[in-house]
Structure 1
């Protein structure tokens, strides 16, 4: 582990330490960050902004790192399609080399150009998907060039230039709000109070422990009426696309370039694997040396990482698909909000 990786791990450990960790001494900087974030938000909310002709749902978070937003977006898209909607997706595309014009993402797009998560979504879903650093431009392109009648923004809760009808906040059920401090003393992009301003809070937690954790989570967050979802793993799939079963070997290498690698490693352990963990930063640009080790043990990575490793993976490399389980009551609540908040111009797109 490099010096920078050790420092990053120390910061993360402090953010999620119950006592606040050593970063709590940066609280004055957090107060300044929070003040500037609120000023920026109010500046956008008070400005003249483009009004989308279709409902916009933003699925985001207020903490840095992964919370399961992208798998949740995929699940919501499928549910809305089942109910007759024609959804489209917009995304920043972390690390994407987007210019002025939005880029349409296809299953064959280069993740180095459009981002890893958009390519993963494009391979899973048959919907229009646009990436641009300016989500408004991406949404305008979807409305002008496709027949979508619903837009889902993968991330972008703080992209206030984009008007939205519904805000969905996603939390990691293990980490929640950490030490509840804003950057740099804590992991939050906005103060904890922002949680009470969104339309729905969805907590990513293990399906088996939802009922046991619900009271604890609601007490910790100080908010009732939360919804929960889980990411249920399936059997590992070959990164190279070869149709075969993973070797029946207990010890494996786990590779994860996501916001919370340890969560992925724990998932592998819950499946019975003895995991040698190899954590990488979120959205890491993988090279062959990152996933090749001096043995013949299987290497299991996340689906998001697999889209970046396809060109140099071999028959030792696998990824772990997940099924996102969302309650019917959550979907019905979202449907009611969509129906109640459709823009006046929506009638022209039905």
Structure 2
């Protein structure tokens, strides 16, 4: 077993887009578990857009990563050694131990991963936090009905791709917005979306309107910016908008130029009786069993599918994360650490 623990820490807080200089690789002694503790060896690390917010000191729903601290992140880890009777060497678990090779845990908060039920990486994607985000946000806030039109931004990502598939299972039309023809073709051909719109096209608004001739009843917001601008005029009376993410603005250093458009938005909310609701997946922790039952069942039955984008090596995490914020990944972005 190795004796060195590599850690990627936050070296400084970015102003605008992160660069590799905002991260630092450190090496230290591998920790040793005390009584009641287990030593976790990271096998796969999840990279997710929320991590950009944790790099900032701005007030948010969670504490920021401290300068010099290990970057936050969920992992699938293997129990390398154990002084805890509840865990045996070789067990696989999920943990929020961050961007490092090894970590200690008391065992609290760990979720067991059964590799016989599904590939372990799915615990970070379709059967993990992104999947539960899609499931709870769409069904609890979006509440799609048969025949309605559901539009989802960042539709080729791990959240958006499942949102569209669940919408189809509930009898709704699914329209995805994604970046590039390859991703749009994947949504239509592999996942069964009714339509897919390239947000990089010059005619985004017109293309979206053509794909939604009866307007939009549910818009699952992951992006903001130009996509929301194209969606807003198409929202029907009583449309629901689960606000999950606003990735187009995560690197912004100031408000966008132009006139104040908030009166237009507020008027639309009032006159069309729109429901816009922000949420964090932990708000719906009480639905974890329902999520595991339903999405796990749909996955085993082949009714939902997923795609992963796996990058080799912990040292690649900073560049991969920077690319994630620009939409370079295709599917759930995971670092294969060990």
Alignment TM-score, normalising by the size of structure 1: 0.32
Structure with higher RCO (Cα < 8 A, 6+ apart) = 1
Q: Which has the higher strand share?
A: 2
Structure richer in helix, relative to its length:
1
TM-score, normalising length: structure 2: 0.32
